[in-house]
Structure 1
Amino acid sequence: MQRGIEKEGLRMQPDGYSAKTFHPAKLGSKLTHPYITTDYSENLLELITKPMPSIKQALDMLRDLHVLVHRSLENDELIWPLSMPCMTSDTDSDIPLADYGSSNIGKLKTLYRSGLGVRYGRKMQTIAGLHYNLSIGDDLFGAWQHAEGAKDLTAFKNDKYLALIRNFKRLTPLVLYLLGASPAVCGTFVSGRQHNLIPLGTTCSYHQPNGTSLRMGKLGYTNSVQEDLDIRYNHLDEYIKGLRAAIGTPYADFEAIGVDDAHGVPIQINNHILQIENEYYSPIRPKQTATASETPTQALQARGIAYVEFRAIDLDPYSDIGITSVTACFLEILALYCLFTDSPYLMSEEEKRLNQNIDIIVNHGRQAGIAIDTDFGKENLHDWIIHHLTQMQTIADAFDAHHGSNQYRTALTMMQGKAINPDFTLSAQIIADSHRVGGTWALGKLLAQKHQTELLSHALSRVDEAEFDELARTSLIEQAQLEATDTIGFDDYLKAYR
C-alpha cells in the first residue's frame, strides 16, 4: 500500500488578512516544482508528498515541506491552519490568481482559475483542504482476482476501486462527523452572502453551533450547478462518459458571463458546465497518473484506476501539518472497509439521499438525536457511526498484526470515543476554543504562531536540504524552458484548446 498527501494552506498577514505577496521565489517554480505549488490563488500553498510505503514517511515529508515554506516566509507571514479562510477582502480583485508564468500551459492554468472566480467568486476558492491519496497493492488485488477467477487485472482493480468509492460516498457523513473541522467562519467570508449561520458570541465569527464541516456544504465547495450532473461510479466507462459530457455541454449562466471580457481578454476557458475535468468536485475521485499530454480521463481510460483521492478531509488546525497519524490510520482502515464491504451500484435516487445526509451532517451533525436516511429508513447518526466503526475492528487488527504495531487499533478507539461523545470531535473543540479566545480568527492566529515556532525548530538533514535546493533550482530552469519553447501565441493556443 502506498499513500501520498496533498495539503493546502493560506498564507496570511500578521493583521489576519490573507497575504497579497507573491509565492516565495526561493521555493522555486510553482508551475514545475513537484512538491511545492499553489492551488487557486497566489497565496494558497499546496504541498504534495511523494507516494510513500508508510504513514510515518508521508507525514515526515509533509513536515519537511512545511519547514521549507516557513523558512521562506517574509513580512511576518504565517500559514492559516483552518480550512475556512482567514479574513479576506470583499473585492475579488484583492484575491490574486495564482500566476504560473508566460508559457501557454502556465497561462491556461491561470485562466482556469479566473474562470472559477467569475463562476463562483474568488472567496470560495480560498478554502483549504487536505487530500489523502491511497493505492492498494497489486499483491492484494492479484490474490483476490485469482480467488474470484477474474481474467483481467486492470478491469478487476477498476471494479474494486469503484466499489470502494461508492461506499465512501455512502459513509461521507461518518467522515464529516469524525474529521470535520470547519464549523465556523470569519465574518468577512460571508459578507454579502445569504447564510443561516449565527454569530459566535460577541466575536466577528459566524458558526453552526452543531456544525461539522461548512467546507463541504453550500458555503463551501458544493454548488447547484454540479448537483444536477449525472456522473456515476458504477463502471469506469460510465464515469468517464459523464465527466466528458459535462465538459462538452454549455451552461446558460456561464454563457451569459462570456468567455472574454469587454476588451477581448479571456476570463474563462469556455462556457461549459465544467471548464476542465478537475473542476468537478466530489468527496472522492478515481485517479491515474497522467502524462503531460493527457487529461485525467484519458489517463484513466488508457491505464485504469491506480489510486483513490479522499477529498472530504478538513485541515486539522491543531496539527502543525494539518493531519495527524491517527487520522491517517483511520482513513486507511476506512478505505479497506469500503473496499471489502458489499457495494451495490449507486443510482441517482440514492445519490440525492446521500447529498441530503451530507447537508444534515454539515450543519447539524453534533445535534443530539440527529438522524440520517439509510437503506433501513431513518437511523440515529451516532448509532449508525458506532455500528460501522465496530465492523472496522477486524481491519484495524489486521493492519496492526501486519505492521507489528498498535496504531490502527488506537486510531479506531479514538474515533469510537468521538462517536460516543460529540464534545471530543474537532468541530466541537474548535467552537469551544473559539469562544474561549475570542473567535476563529484569534484561535487561528494563536495556532498559526504555535505551529510556525515548532516547525522552525525542526532541522532537515543535509541530504534533504541539498535535494530541496536542487529541486527549486531545476524547477525554475524547467519553467524557463517551457516559456522559451512555445511555438504559438496564447490566443492561438487557447483557440485550439477550446
Structure 2
Amino acid sequence: MLPNLDTALLWLQQHPQAVQHFKRGLERETLRFLPDKHLALTPHPTQLGSALCHPWITTDFAESLMEFVTPVREKAGELTDFLWDLHRFSLQHMGKERFWPMSMPCFINNESDIVLAQYGSSNLAQYKTLYREGLRNRYGALMQTIAGIHYNFSFDQPYWQRRFPELTEAQQQDQLSVRYFNLIRNYLRYGWVIPYLFGASPAICSCFLQGRQTQIPFEQSAHGFLYLPYATSLRLSDLGYTTDTQSNLGINYNQLSQYTASLRAATRRPEPQFQAIDQAINQADGQSGKQKAKTYRQLNANVLQSEAEFYAQIRPKRVTLPGERAVAALERGGIQYVEVRSLDVNPYSAVGISEQQIYFLDLFMLWCELAEAPPLGDSEQQCCRKNWNKVILAGRKPQQTIGVGCDENEYSLQAMGEAIFDDLLQLAAVVDCVGQEQGYVQICRELRQAFADPNLTLSAKVLADCQQLGIAAFAERQAEKFKQAFLSQPYRTLSEQQLQQAVQDSVRQQQAIEQADEVSFEQYLALQNQA
C-alpha cells in the first residue's frame, strides 16, 4: 500500500546526524482589507519600500495582495518570528487596514476594481505587471487574489554527504536532483495528507463566484456563504489554482532533463485559447495618424507565459541569477530545493502558518525522500489528481476511500493516513534525538488522531467557526485579534532600524534598475520571450 521504508530507516538510524538540520523558507500571501471587510484598493504603502526590490516585503498579483518572504532558516521559530516582524512593521504603515486571515478572498464588489501589482517604470517592472495582466485575461482576477503559504525546503550538504559518501562532488550534485524528484513523486502520490490535515478553505463568500458557473454542489449556510460539508481546501479545487489548459501539460517528474524539456515546451507552445486574447493592440493616434506604442495583454500567447504560471502542488527550484529563467537555472545547477505550494493560510495563526505545521512538513519531506518512488507516468498523474480532488472536496466524508496509483482497488483514507504516520513516527524518533528542535514525536501523535476523528482537522474547525459566526465575522475577529497582538508586542528578531534600512535600500535599487535600462520595453519583451 505504501513504499517500503525499512532499508532507508535502518540507514537513518545508523546515521542520525544526517538530519540534525533542515533548511526552510516561507512565503506568506495575504490581502489588505478595510474595516467594512472589503478589499483595500489603495496602492502598496510607499513606507514599505519598493515591491520590486525589497527582499522580504513585496506584492503578488495585486497591489492589495501582499507577500512576505523569509530568508532560509534552520529553526521553525526563527521563521515564524521573522514573519511576525514583517507583519508588525507593515501594519504600522497601513492605517485602519488589516490582513485578511484566510486563503479565499474577502468581499470584492467588482473584479475590475482589483489593481494589478505595480513595480515602477523599468522594463523589469513592466514585464512583471504585464505577466499579471496576462493572468487576469486568462483566468480572471478573482482567482489570482487567492492567498496561500509556500514552504521552501532543502536538506543541507552534510545530509547528502552521509547519504552518498562514495560519490564525488559532481556526482553528488546529479544525485541530488534524482533524489529531489523521488521526493516530488512521493509528494504527488501521497501529499493529499496536507490538505486533509491543514486545508482551511471549506467555504467561500458567495460573492467569489460573481456569476461564474461551477459544477461543485455547494450548500448555502444560514449566514449566506457557500460550503461543502466535508471539503478541506477549495483553494486547491477547480475554483482555485487549477486550470483546464494545464491539466494535460505532460510535465515529467522522472528526470531533470525530461522535466526541463517538458516545462520549456509549455512556455513555447502557442495556445489557441490565449491567442484569442490578442497579444497586442496597435493604437493609432487619431489626430496625427502616427502609430503609438503597442498595448499588450499578456507576455505571449503560449500555454504558459513563463514557468511561474505552472500551478503545481510542488515545484523543483534553484535560485536564479539576474535575468535567468527558472528552467535555465535548473539546467545549470540541478535542483537546489523544493517549493511546496499546497498550504492554505491558517486562520488561527497570526502569520498564517504554525510551527506544528512546519515540523510536520519537515518529516513528510524526509519521508518522501527516503521512501523509494517508482517512475510516474501521465496516466498515474491523472490518478493522483483524482485522489487529491477527493480529499479537497470531501476528505472528511465518513468512510472516505482513496486510490493507490491506478490500482482499481480503493483503500480507507483513515487507514492510509495512519499508515503514513506509522512511518513518520519512526522518523520523528530519530530527529528528536539529534535535531536542534524537539517535539516531532508529540506532533505526530497529535496529528495522527485527525484520521480517526476528522473533526480535529483544520478545515473542520474553520467550518464550525464560520457556521457559528459567518465567514466575515470570523475573519474580522481573527484579523483584529492578530493586529492588536502585532502592534502591542515587540519585534522578535529584526529591529525597526533594520527594517527601515531595507526599505531605503530597496528604493535605491529600484532607481538604479530604472536608470540602467538601455532598450525599449518592446525589445526587452522580445528578448525575454526568446530566452
Residue 250 in 1 paired to residue 280 in 2? no
Give the superposition deviation at 1:429. Answer: 0.6
What's the secondary structure of 1:146's corresponding residue? coil
What's the secondary structure of 2:194's corresponding residue? helix
**Structure 1 Cα separation of the partners of residues 140 and 180 of structure 2:** 34
The one of 206, 221, 229 equivalent to 1:201 is 221
2:73 maps to what in 1? 52
2:34 maps to what in 1? 13
Residue type of the partner of 2:57?
I
What's the secondary structure of 2:67's corresponding residue? strand
Over the aligned positions, Cα root-mean-square deviation in angstroms equals 1.5
1:220 maps to what in 2? 240
Residue type of the partner of 1:483?
E
Give the superposition deviation at 1:495. Answer: 3.0
Conserved 8 A contact 1:89-1:95: no
1:70 maps to what in 2? 91
**Structure 2 Cα separation of the partners of residues 359 and 167 of structure 1:** 17
The one of 487, 491, 494 equivalent to 2:522 is 491
Once the two structures are superposed, residues 262-302 of structure 1 have per-residue CA deviations (whole angstroms, 9 ceiling, x without a partner) of 74410100000000111001111111110112111111111
2:463 maps to what in 1? 431
Give the number of aligned pairs: 495
Give the superposition deviation at 1:253. Answer: 0.5
**Structure 1 Cα separation of the partners of residues 217 and 114 of structure 2:** 24
What's the secondary structure of 2:92's corresponding residue? helix
2:197 maps to what in 1? 178
Conserved 8 A contact 2:84-2:492: no
1:310 maps to what in 2? 340
What's the secondary structure of 2:321's corresponding residue? coil
Residue 271 in 1 paired to residue 301 in 2? yes
What's the secondary structure of 1:32's corresponding residue? coil
Residue type of the partner of 2:484?
T
Give the superposition deviation at 1:366. Answer: 0.4
**Structure 1 Cα separation of the partners of residues 275 and 527 of structure 2:** 19
Give the superposition deviation at 1:403. Answer: 2.8
Structure 1 residues 150 and 370: alpha-carbon distance in aligned structure 2, compared to 1, 3 A threshold: farther
The one of 385, 388, 391 equivalent to 1:361 is 391
Conserved 8 A contact 2:221-2:227: no
Give the superposition deviation at 1:146. Answer: 2.0
Runs ≥4 residues deviating over 6 A? 148-151
What's the secondary structure of 2:382's corresponding residue? helix
2:156 maps to what in 1? 137
**Structure 1 Cα separation of the partners of residues 360 and 191 of structure 2:** 14
Structure 1 residues 4 and 446: alpha-carbon distance in aligned structure 2, compared to 1, 3 A threshold: same
Aligned-pair identity in percent equals: 35
1:351 maps to what in 2? 381
1:95 maps to what in 2? 114
Once the two structures are superposed, residues 338-389 of structure 1 have per-residue CA deviations (whole angstroms, 9 ceiling, x without a partner) of 0000110110111010111111111111000111111452101111111111
Conserved 8 A contact 1:163-1:339: yes
Query: Structure 1: which 5+ runs fail to align?
Result: none
What's the secondary structure of 2:30's corresponding residue? strand
Once the two structures are superposed, residues 235-270 of structure 1 have per-residue CA deviations (whole angstroms, 9 ceiling, x without a partner) of 011110000000000000000111124744101000
Conserved 8 A contact 2:75-2:437: no
Once the two structures are superposed, residues 392-436 of structure 1 have per-residue CA deviations (whole angstroms, 9 ceiling, x without a partner) of 111111111113654211221121011111001110011110111
1:290 maps to what in 2? 320
**Structure 1 Cα separation of the partners of residues 458 and 101 of structure 2:** 13
What's the secondary structure of 1:379's corresponding residue? strand
Residue 341 in 1 paired to residue 365 in 2? no
Give the superposition deviation at 1:304. Answer: 1.0
**Structure 1 Cα separation of the partners of residues 107 and 521 of structure 2:** 35
Residue 156 in 1 paired to residue 188 in 2? no
Give the superposition deviation at 1:198. Answer: 2.7
What's the secondary structure of 1:282's corresponding residue? coil
Residue 281 in 1 paired to residue 290 in 2? no
The one of 47, 54, 58 equivalent to 1:33 is 54
Structure 1 residues 254 and 28: alpha-carbon distance in aligned structure 2, compared to 1, 3 A threshold: same
**Structure 1 Cα separation of the partners of residues 85 and 66 of structure 2:** 14
2:330 maps to what in 1? 300
**Structure 1 Cα separation of the partners of residues 314 and 166 of structure 2:** 28
TM-score (norm 2): 0.91
1:329 maps to what in 2? 359
Residue type of the partner of 2:521?
F
Quick one: higher RCO (CA 8 Å, sep 6+), 1 or 2? 2
Residue type of the partner of 1:40?
F
What's the secondary structure of 2:495's corresponding residue? helix
Residue 42 in 1 paired to residue 63 in 2? yes
Residue 474 in 1 paired to residue 498 in 2? no
Conserved 8 A contact 2:75-2:436: no
2:252 maps to what in 1? 232
Equivalent runs, 1:409-448 vs 2, <5 Å: 409-437=441-469, 439-448=470-479
Once the two structures are superposed, residues 125-155 of structure 1 have per-residue CA deviations (whole angstroms, 9 ceiling, x without a partner) of 0000001111101111112112589970110
Give the superposition deviation at 1:492. Answer: 2.4
Name the stretch that deviates more: 300-309 or 403-412.
Answer: 403-412
